[in-house]
Every structure is written in structure tokens, then in C-alpha cells.
């Protein structure tokens, strides 16, 4: 009986030691990892530039007694317009739409047909007046535009992005200093996207061309959200 009691006690001792050595420290495992302090700010960067490209639309509307006659006459008119645009320096010409429809008199009776055709063209801003005048002389009776843009729009946007990050850093430094801290490294950047270029003001004088085009300046902007660690 004494021998059995001694063996039982020894077995309990082994189990106790195994538990003390093998079981994980549950209290320590439940401690969450420490997250370093951080600050998130937004920044806006802008770049001003004078656009160097113009996009315009040129078209002709032709009326004839029959649809076939209207289409044929309109095709002749558009060939003259397209040829004039090319000679005046227009590029990237593309047809926008073609339409044929009847028009009626006061009694609602069909009184003929109208055919319309429109083509877009791109030119340097300096060539835009010549394009307009050449198209009008060739018979264009529908002219719209110009839409002004910069051929290096992507490069301008990248510059605006850089300025946005710089502004975010300046804002973060002010906030960190007010809190008695200093900035660490950037831990995250989120791009906010680009805004459509906005015209600012006309800084160029009108040219001597019969149809002056004054491009002025456009503002390209970008926004970012930047997170900095704090020390």
C-alpha cells in the first residue's frame, strides 16, 4: 500500500512539472502588439500652365427637297471643309456624327430634308484662328469650341502630386510640433485623384487674326492623404 501511494504521488509531481514547463503563458499571449503613434493629413498641390492645344468641331447642314440630294450636297460640303482644315494645320480629324431628317412646313407637311455632318479637329492654340476661318470660308455653318488643353497634362499632374505631398508634410509638421512631437517616416499615401483643369485668367493678348483665341492659364490640381509616424 505504501509503495502504491508513493508511485501515485510521484506521478502527480511529473504532471505538475510538465504543466509548469509546457503550458504557454496565456496572459502574455493576449497582450496586443503596441501600435506606434501616427498622424494623417491631406495636401493639395496646384500647377498653373497655359494650354497649347485646341479641339474644335466643324460641321455643315444642307437642305434639299429629297434625302438623297441633301446627303450628296452635304458630302460635297464636308469634303471641302475637311480639306480646308487639313491645309490650315488641323490634325486628328474624326467624324463625330452624321444625321438626316425631314423638316416640315407650318401645316406639318414634309417640305424637304436636312443632312448634317460634323468633324472634330485638333490644332496648336496658335493655329486655331486659322482653322476657324478656313472652315467658315469652306462652307462650315456649325462651329463650336475650342476646348483647350495641355499636351503635357500628365507631367503637369505629376508635378501637382509632388507639391501635394510637400504641403501634407508641412501641415503634419505644424500639428506634430503643437503636440510636442516630431515627424517620423511616411507609412501610407493615398492619392485623391486629379481635378479637371480649370481656366484662371486671360494673360495673353488677342492676336491679329480675324478670330482671336486667348488661351489664358489653366490650373491642374492633385490631392493626397499622407500618414506619418510620430516620434
Task: Quote the longest CA-to-CA distance of the chain.
Answer: 128
Query: What pLDDT is attached to residue 223?
Result: 94
- 203 contact partners, CB below 8 Å, separation of at least 6: 50, 216, 217
Query: What pLDDT is attached to residue 86?
Result: 94
What domains are there in the chain, each with its CATH number? 38-50+152-230 (3.30.110.170), 53-149 (3.30.70.2970)
State the Cα–Cα distance between residues 205 and 176, nearest whole angstrom: 47
Distance (Å) of CA 109 to CA 66, 86, 103, 105: 14, 40, 8, 6
Closest-CA residue to 41 (of 188, 203, 216, 145): 188
Do β-strands 142-149 and 53-64 pair in parallel, antiparallel, or remain unpaired?
A: antiparallel
Q: What's the whole-number mean pLDDT along residues 221-226?
A: 94
Cell of 197: 483643369
Cβ density class 149-170: b for 16+ within 10 Å, e for less: bbeebeebbebbbebbbebbbe
pLDDT-derived band at 213, boundaries 50, 70, 90: confident
DSSP one-letter string for 24-82: --HHHHTSPPPPPPEEEEEEEEEEEE---EEEEEEEEEEEESSHHHHHHHHHHHHHHHH
Query: What pLDDT is attached to residue 197?
Result: 55
Query: Is residue 93 classed exposed, middle or buried when 0-12, 13-18 and 19+ CB atoms within 10 A define those classes?
Result: middle
Query: What pLDDT is attached to residue 36?
Result: 63
pLDDT-derived band at 194, boundaries 50, 70, 90: low
Check: pTM over 0.85? Answer yes or no: no
State the Cα–Cα distance between residues 228 and 41, nearest whole angstrom: 8
What is the CB neighbour count within 10 angstroms for residue 118?
Answer: 21
State the Cα–Cα distance between residues 125 and 122, nearest whole angstrom: 9
- Residue linked to cell 503634419: 172
Closest-CA residue to 54 (of 158, 226, 177, 209): 209
pLDDT-derived band at 91, boundaries 50, 70, 90: very high
Amino acid at each position: 500500500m505504501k509503495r502504491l501511494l508513493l508511485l501515485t504521488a510521484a506521478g502527480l509531481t511529473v504532471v505538475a512539472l510538465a504543466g509548469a514547463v509546457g503550458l504557454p503563458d496565456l496572459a502574455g499571449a493576449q497582450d496586443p502588439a503596441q501600435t506606434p503613434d501616427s498622424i494623417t493629413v491631406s495636401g493639395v498641390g496646384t500647377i498653373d500652365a497655359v494650354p497649347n492645344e485646341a479641339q474644335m468641331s466643324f460641321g455643315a447642314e444642307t437642305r434639299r427637297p429629297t434625302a438623297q440630294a441633301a446627303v450628296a450636297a452635304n458630302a460635297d460640303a464636308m469634303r471641302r471643309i475637311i480639306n480646308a482644315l487639313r491645309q490650315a494645320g488641323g490634325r486628328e480629324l474624326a467624324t463625330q456624327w452624321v444625321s438626316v431628317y425631314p423638316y416640315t412646313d407650318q401645316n406639318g407637311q414634309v417640305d424637304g430634308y436636312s443632312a448634317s455632318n460634323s468633324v472634330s479637329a485638333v490644332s496648336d492654340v496658335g493655329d486655331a484662328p486659322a482653322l476657324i476661318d478656313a472652315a467658315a470660308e469652306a462652307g462650315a455653318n456649325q462651329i463650336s469650341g475650342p476646348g483647350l488643353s495641355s499636351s503635357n497634362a500628365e507631367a503637369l499632374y505629376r508635378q501637382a502630386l509632388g507639391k501635394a505631398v510637400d504641403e501634407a508634410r508641412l501641415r503634419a509638421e505644424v500639428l506634430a510640433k503643437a503636440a510636442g512631437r516630431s515627424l517620423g517616416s511616411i507609412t501610407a499615401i493615398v492619392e485623391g485623384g486629379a481635378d479637371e483643369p480649370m481656366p484662371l485668367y486671360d494673360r495673353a493678348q488677342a492676336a491679329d487674326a480675324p478670330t482671336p483665341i486667348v488661351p489664358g492659364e489653366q490650373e491642374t490640381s492633385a490631392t493626397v492623404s499622407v500618414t506619418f509616424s510620430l516620434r
